[in-house]
Amino acid sequence: MSTTSDDDRSERRFAVVVNPTKISEALPELINEAAERGGWSEPLWLETTADDPGRRMAQQARDAGVQTVLAVGGDGTVRVVASELAGSGVGLGIVPEGTGNLLARNLGIPLTESEAIAVALGESSRDLDIVRISTDDDASADRFTVMAGLGLDAAIMSNTDEALKAKIGSIAYVAAALQHLGREPRRMRITVDDHRRLERRAILCLIGNVGAVQGDIELIPGALPDDGLLDVVVASPRRLRHWFAVALRLITRRERSGDRIDQLTGRRVVVEIDQPEDYELDGDTIGQCRRLVAEIEPGALQVRAPVDDR
C-alpha cells in the first residue's frame, strides 16, 4: 500500500511550453525549484518555434499525460496552448512574459515570474469558457480566450507601437485609434444565436469572452469569462461626436449613450462583411476574413488562477 503514495507522487508532472525568446535567464531555475518544492516530477520542457507558437508542443504535453501545462510567453503563446488544452481536462498555468498579458490581467494572475509560477502550480483553479472560431470556408477551428476583433481593433493591434504599448498601456491604443479616425466603415451583418440580426455600417466588431484589455480598459462592460456567454460590441460611429463618444468609452471605461455602440450577448455569433477585413484574436492580428463564426465552449478550460472574489 505504501507504493500508492509513491505512484501518486511520480504521476504529478507538468509540462512547460515556453517561448524561449521571451524569458529571463533565471526562469528555468525558478521553475525547477518550484517543481521540486511542490513534489512534482521533472517537468517536460518544450520550446515554441517561429513557425509554431505552441500548438504541437501543447499536443505533445497532452499526449504525455501531464496534469498541467505552463504556457510561458505572450498572449500568442497562451492562446495557442489554451486552444489545444480546451476540453482535455489538463490544467493551464500562465507565466505571462508579453506586453499585453490579457488573460493573466483579467484573471488576477501575477505578472512577476516567481509569483506566477506559484499560482500556476497551485491548487486554485477556475473553469473558464473558451471560444471556438472559424473563418470564411476554412473548416479548421481555432480558439481564443479573451476577445476577437474585426476592423479597427485588428488594425490597432497591428499598428500599436510595441515600446509605447509597454510604457503607457491604454494611451497607446487610443493614440492608434486616433490614427484611424475617418476609417471607412464596412457593411457588417451580425447574427446572434441564429435569430437576432443586426446590420450596421461599422468600423469595429468585438466578440469578447473577457471584457478588459490592456491598461484595464473595459471594452466590453459586463463580459465575464465563466458565464457561458459571448459579448458582442459593434461600433458604428458616423460623425465626429460619435467617434469622441467611442474614445470616451475607452478612456472612462463606462457605457455611454449616443456613442453608436450596440452590445449583444449569446452563445454563437456570425459576422459577415461586405469585403475582407482584418481580424485579431487575443491581440494578435491573424489575417483577413469576410465571415467569422464564434461559438462559446462553456467551462472547457481549467486555468490555475487566484480564486475569483467578485
Ligand X SMILES: Nc1ncnc2c1ncn2[C@@H]1O[C@H](COP(=O)(O)OP(=O)(O)OP(=O)(O)O)[C@@H](O)[C@H]1O
**CB closer to ligand X out of 53 and 266:** 53
Q: List residues binding ligand X (CB under 6 A).
A: 19-22, 47-50, 53, 73-77, 98-101, 283
Q: How far is the CB of 298 from ligand X (least distance, A)?
A: 25
C-alpha cell at 265: 450577448
Least Cβ distance, residue 260 to ligand X (angstroms): 29
| Shorter beta-carbon distance to ligand X: residue 68 or 99 | 99
Residue nearest to ligand X (CB): 74
Distance of closest approach, residue 307 Cβ to ligand X, in angstroms = 25
Nearest residue (CB) to ligand X, 76 versus 237: 76
In sequence order, which residues have a C-beta less than 8 Å from that of residue 279 and are 6 or more positions away?
A: 135, 148, 149, 150, 154, 285, 286, 287, 288, 289, 292
Question: Which CA distances in Å does 259 have to 11, 47, 85, 200, 214?
Answer: 55, 45, 38, 14, 21
Cell matching residue 48:
515554441
Listed in sequence order, the DSSP H helices in 41-89 are 55-63, 75-85
For the bound state, the minimum distance from the C-beta of residue 97 to ligand X, rounded and expressed in Å, comes to 7
Give the residue with the Cβ less far from ligand X, 76 or 211: 76
Q: What is the closest distance, in whole angstroms, from the C-beta atom of residue 214 to ligand X in the complex? A: 9
**Residue number with CB closer to ligand X (95 or 202):** 95
Cα 134 to Cα 52, 67, 141, 297, distances in angstroms = 19, 28, 5, 14
